[in-house]
Structure 1
């Protein structure tokens, strides 16, 4: 049996020896997906005053081969072609990420004709169409004059690209997840299964809400758990043998939690940005905190200290985990607790302006555009 460690080690050695890159370059059309919108996106970004840079761990010869295919010459000779380096203001190869985001390596100038690095450490200003090797994020940020949230960094590796750039340099991040299209298609097709799992989870909550610390036995939820397992297995099989990248049953995977925490944006392809204006401000859907989801807007908020023990026990039918409690009301009140109230994950939209939103870029006169992408 081949262990995952051996598989990873073999793949690492395969890449280090250059065999994988040689194989890709022999038939680049087979292994690399070309999107005609990519050069359009890069041109529009620069036309709006932002700067672009390419940061890769690959050597220059391999980078040149792939980028020439993606952005270089076309088969139609009548169509005007551009050197792929003209789409970027700054180009860095051999970056050795995630080391690049820490102490980094020596910054050197690369000769595009030979692919060889020039001797000595480069300390001058970065020049367009020039190719550089190595360096560090601190040095690079000083040379381009942009730090932190001024930079939107697009990468496809959750650790080497997103987590490190976010934690150590506070860059804005966009994670590219090619599997996202398949995830969305399965979620759309199996929406009823997702809803069934959610309803089964809520049914367990409804059974438990009338119990407290004085209860000796809980309800029998064996059958409900079996139904959840059946639905979960059915759902997992729809994602393939490896399962979902973002979800395991009704819970999120570790990868999904990392995406939520460290990626400001995530998408199936960076070319999806062409569908948004450059002044667009992305915001996540506001979610209720656990204590906020217990509040029913239809009920008055009223608390009263409850004495446990003795003869005066609180009403055993009341849900004591709710912030609006019927047992906290006087006995002559007409307030009735609705036990069928479903805890909503999102707050209701306000009917009037509640505050003035201050964008993160307020006062910087950049119209929500990032200086560097």
Structure 2
């Protein structure tokens, strides 16, 4: 996404491979830019506007915001983080391939650190300082009452205390994950189940392709232990995992065991990542209807219908059921007739039409 004043331009959810980016989190990030650009009359350093947006993203829940990626770990380990007074350079004049990604993460954590140590009101104070024309060193001194160099030193100490375990085990994690992936490809599921938890716990933030969470869940499913697979995928979601395929598996496992509330939460979070997934809207609509939320079911079924499902008659019928539950009879008739026009022998739709015309 990119923001120009009050104009936000973003990739469509279908512009990239599904789950490649978190659409709702990205939109929230860009809307934060709109507010901060307006509040500062565009007089704001790049590191601060990006860091504040990343920090705000992180408050949205699991899967929102920047992740502690292997590139970021390597940068922390190799002492490549920039001083706050030079952090803009990481965005506009990067000196190594992953420096932009690293700078987003560093700026977000810097804003988190300021909020934690001085309070969120100091972030608002820095917005005001930049609006008055202060540069980064001036804003740090005026608002935080400390020198930029002191802020850098305290921040690095804070960040390293939160990442030390992953940093220490990083190379071991890379080697062991590679072996675990090889075992999974070879179908050695018992080995994956035996070694996977230790690999996962060396770097629990890693939820990328081929993560230990994914390999463990697949190994448990291969042995038909659905409860263990569900537990692993729940850990994956709590860690911020957002692969649509894996989240669909979790939702299906929750539904199989009658855990409708948990399945609803998974589907809701999945649609934040990929709002164009027809199946997820349909399943979320089913759950909302079961829970007595007819208006919510209408919203989900309307979305499912708009996404050109394979079974259009069933999509119209679902929407008719929801309108009927909401006591919106004329709209229910419209959609049940649309279902019967496409499939005249559709018995559930015939039955519903009789109920609507007593």
Q: Which has the higher helix share?
A: 2
Q: Which has the higher strand share?
A: 1
Q: TM-score interval w.r.t. the shorter chain?
A: under 0.3
Larger Rg: 1
Please report the TM-score for the alignment, with normalisation by the length of structure 1. Answer: 0.26
Please report the TM-score for the alignment, with normalisation by the length of structure 2. Answer: 0.27
